[in-house]
Amino acid sequence: QKEVEQNSGPLSVPEGAIASLNCTYSDRGSQSFFWYRQYSGKSPELIMFIYSNGDKEDGRFTAQLNKASQYVSLLIRDSQPSDSATYLCAVSPRSNYQLIWGAGTKLIIKP
């Protein structure tokens, strides 16, 4: 059973601080890793994806991938109240187009 694990939270972070979200996955053959943001009552929105070990930065967001340890993380710098949402981690296995989804981490940025 291929699994993606996330801490459900809520994770509470003060405004302006760095929010760190983590995700582990079980399938060592996984190839691509995605972070989606979902506001309450809305559909998921792709923030960024990563496929190579190391860091990938996009604005205030940094995705980190460590395939040896089978974890992927998302850092949000200078957190804003508008970043408050549920963050979903998704992993693409080798064989097909489906994504394996984590249950999501609820992030709350406190002003």
Partner 1 sequence: GAVVSQHPSWVICKSGTSVKIECRSLDFQATTMFWYRQFPKQSLMLMATSNEGSKATYEQGVEKDKFLINHASLTLSTLTVTSAHPEDSSFYICSATQGLGYNEQFFGPGTRLTVL
The residues of the shown chain that bind partner 1, judged by CB under 8 A, are: 31-32, 34, 36, 41-46, 49, 51, 88, 90, 92, 97-99, 101-104
Cα separation, 51 vs 64, in Å, equals 10
User: In the bound complex, what is the minimum distance in angstroms from residue 87's beta carbon to partner 1?
Assistant: 12
User: Apex CA 80: angle with CA 74 and CA 12, to 5°?
Assistant: 65
Closer to partner 1 by CB, 13 or 88: give it. Answer: 88
User: In the bound complex, what is the minimum distance in angstroms from residue 84's beta carbon to partner 1?
Assistant: 15
- Length reported for the chain: 111
Contacts of 4 (CB under 8 A, 6+ apart): 23, 24, 25, 26, 89, 90, 91, 100, 101, 102
Closer to partner 1 by CB, 25 or 36: give it. Answer: 36
Closer to partner 1 by CB, 20 or 32: give it. Answer: 32
User: In the bound complex, what is the minimum distance in angstroms from residue 4's beta carbon to partner 1?
Assistant: 10
User: In the bound complex, what is the minimum distance in angstroms from residue 59's beta carbon to partner 1?
Assistant: 17
**Residue whose token pair is 């249950």:** 103
